Structure 1
Amino acid sequence: MPAFMDVHTNMKGITKDQLMAAHKADLAIESEQGVHFKQAWADPESGHVYCLSEAPSAEAVQAVHRRTGHPADEVHPVPIIV
C-alpha cells in the first residue's frame, strides 16, 4: 500500500493531548477510506503537524482529515521508506 506524509501548518500551540485526540479521531474512521495512520508528530512552536499513513490515495488521507475537522494543507507521496 502506498505511503503518504501529510502536513498541517496552522496548529500553533498544539499540545500532546490535542495531537493524541486528533490522531485518535483519525484512527476511529480511517478504515472507512482504507487508510492507516501510523504516526503523528507536532511542533507546537511553528504549528506544523506531520502524519505518516498508508492509504490507497492522497485523496483518501485528506477525506479522513476533513471529516475529523483538521484537513491537511499538503499530502505528499512517500515512495521510499527505510
Structure 2
Amino acid sequence: MTRYMDVHHGMQGITADQLRAGHEAAAAVEKEEGVHFEHAWADPESGTVYCLSEGPSPEAVHRAHELSGAQGPDEIHAVPLAV
C-alpha cells in the first residue's frame, strides 16, 4: 500500500470540530475502497486541508472521500518515502 497526502482548497474558516467530523466520516467508509485515513490537518485561514492516508491508488483515496460525503481532494500526492 502507498501513502498519499491529499490537499483540499477552499475550506476557509474550517473548525476543529468540522475537521474531526470529516475525518471520522472518511474513516467510516474507508474499508469500502481499501483506504486507511491516518491523520488530517487544516489551516482555517488559507482554507487548506491536508489528509494523510494509505491506499491502493489515488483513485481509491478520491472515491473514499466522495463516499464519506466530503468534497473530493483537489490534489493527491504519493509519498512513498518517510523518515
| TM-score under structure 1 length normalisation | 0.97
Give ranges in structure 2 of 5+ residues lacking alignment. Answer: none
User: Unpaired segments of 5 or more residues in structure 1?
Assistant: none
Partners in 2 of 1:10 and 1:62 — Cα distance? 17
* Equivalent in the alignment of 2:47: 47
Q: Which residue identity is paired with 1:31?
A: K
User: Match of 2:80, SS?
Assistant: coil
1:10 Cα deviation after fit: 1.0
Partner SS state of residue 79, structure 1: coil
Offset at residue 69 of structure 1 (A): 2.5
User: How far apart in 2 are the matches of 1:45 and 1:37?
Assistant: 23
Aligned length: 82
Shift of 1:37: 0.3
Q: CA RMSD in A?
A: 0.6
Residue type of the alignment partner of 1:65:
H
Identical aligned residues as a percent? 59
What TM-score, normalized by structure 2, do the two folds share?
0.96
Q: Where does residue 79 of structure 1 map in the other structure?
A: 80
Matched with 2:38 is 38
Q: Hey, which bits of structure 1, 4+ residues long, moved more than 2 A?
A: none
User: Helix, strand or coil: the match of 2:72?
Assistant: coil
Describe the SS at the equivalent of 1:62.
helix
